[in-house]
Structure 1
Amino acid sequence: MAVHREKDERLAPFMRMDRCNKISRLSNELLQVRAETRADPLEVLGWDVFFFAVLPRLDARSLAACIAVSSSWRACCISDVLWRPLLSRFLALRAHLPLALLRCSSPFPPHLAYSVAMLDACKAELSPAEMCARVWEMKVKPGFSSLLQSQTCGPYWYSLDPTSLNEAPLLRRFHCDFSITPLQENDPIWGGQESTWKFVKSKQSNGELKKQFVRINSWPQHQVVRLRDGRWCLDNYYASYTTCPDQEENMPSYLKGLKVPCCRRCNPDQIELIKAKI
């Protein structure tokens, strides 16, 4: 009896391990069976509850993920009723409509328009199409000067900037032939001289990352910055150029009624291509 007891004690840990493994395998099998037999929430809840009580609670990312679940889910999740308020809230935070939406002859479905707006919001590099399609505000900086360094246009040029008198800013238009023109008559800074622009890229010290700049005439190059609300800004220590909002609720009064046609030459129509990708 003592021999059998000693043998049982030696085998006890292995028996317990084997029992745990069996329980684990059984649990996994039960979970797999449950997953395979689990009913579709759309079928359990019914279309009305699923569509009107569940889906409206989702954010855009979750709702977009639901589109790929099944064909029945896709039919529900691409509904304009769900995406129209999401699109309106997102665009209300943006200063610009994406060029693809501005150029579209027929309206995009809201779920596709949201995707286009999200892709546009992720852009960090300014394109020639954006340069030419937007109206730009020009502001001269007062700058600073010291005994060691002077970074200012001087009081004369700054005094010609209407914003120094709390008036509407000067407006500029960049063209695809790399010229620049004023949009206002009697522009105090514009003297009829030729003005050109071009893109410039510079490498970082590691030689990998590149920063984008825009050079106007022979002035120091402007760094390209994307603002939080989607506007573009060209900035150096002399002056800054910022795109004007084109959303009605965000548009300043001096821009209302101003129509700026999109340039067909530098902004080819790619609406069908965008739809195909989405």
Structure 2
Amino acid sequence: MERLRLCWLRQHRSCSRAASLARAAAVVALRQPTLPSNPLIKALFSFQVWVSNTKITKCAEMLAGKAHIPLLTMIPTASRLSTYSMAIMDGKRTRITKEDLCDHDWEFRFTIAAPEYWRNLDPSWKHTGPPMRRYFHPDGYHSADPHDAVWGGHECTYTIITSFAGDGQIRDHYVRINRWPPMKVSRKEDWSWELSNHLYRYNSVPDGNKGCTGPLFPVW
């Protein structure tokens, strides 16, 4: 046990010294725009650059293949470590906001439990075309593409319902359109959203070239 304790102390001191060296290199870099000639300072500077590039690489690896990149990763005053941590927490967030709804296009599909009449109007069920699209607007309006066979041109509004228990934990959270069955909110591994009930489901379309989306501030 004593040997393990000594080993831990050595590793801790090494990490602390490495962090101190990195800070020293950062100071040198700020004071001297060109690469320093002193071998020791040059090594410190290179170490700082390696640490910085490693963080950038880790963040890029994490975001690769994600359907949505959180907008809060663009906060200019946040450190790379805090940006990395906030991105992970936001990717696991299941409390949806109006920004999440409005920033994305949504694919609409019926489930097997829906009546056959409605499923026959769904081109993705008949394999005659892509899923239908739905859109959420900041004013609470909900719309579809023109000539959508299911839509029918009726007026639609949406509401996000969130209730809390006595300890502040979320007890119930769902999205409801008009007075139709509520849709529970879930998140997939690629950070995309799904709204679903027993009759139909909505899936957020990957952002592509849209850029970062969602709320600017953390919503855990």
TM superposition score normalised by structure 1: 0.55
CA distance in 2, matches of 1:71, 1:81: 18
Root mean square deviation, CA, Å = 3.8
Distance 1:106 1:162, change over 3 A: farther
* Higher relative contact order, structure no. (Cα contacts within 8 Å, ≥ 6 residues apart): 2
Q: Could you list the runs of 5+ residues in structure 2 that have no partner in the other structure?
A: 27-47
Q: Does 1:137 align with 2:107?
A: yes
Corresponding residue to 2:64 among 89, 92, 95: 92
Alignment match, 1:123? 93
Corresponding residue to 1:171 among 122, 133, 137: 133
Native 8 Å contact 2:97 2:160 kept in 1: no
Higher helix share: 1
CA distance in 1, matches of 2:112, 2:21: 61
Distance 1:130 1:77, change over 3 A: farther
Following TM superposition, by how much is the alpha carbon of 1:126 offset from its aligned partner in structure 2, in angstroms?
A: 0.8
TM superposition score normalised by structure 2: 0.68
Equivalent positions of 1:109-258 (< 5 A) are: 110-143=80-113, 152=114, 154-166=115-127, 167-182=129-144, 184-201=145-162, 210-247=171-208
CA deviations 1:143-188 (Å, max 9, x no partner) are 1xxxxxxxx3x22211111111222111111112111122x33222
Following TM superposition, by how much is the alpha carbon of 1:78 offset from its aligned partner in structure 2, in angstroms?
A: 8.3
Q: Which has the larger radius of gyration?
A: 1
CA distance in 1, matches of 2:80, 2:119: 45
Identity %: 27
Following TM superposition, by how much is the alpha carbon of 1:92 offset from its aligned partner in structure 2, in angstroms?
A: 1.9
Letter in 1 for 2:205: C
Distance 1:157 1:78, change over 3 A: farther
Q: Could you list the runs of 5+ residues in structure 1 that have no partner in the other structure?
A: 1-26, 44-49, 51-69, 144-151, 249-258
Distance 1:78 1:242, change over 3 A: farther
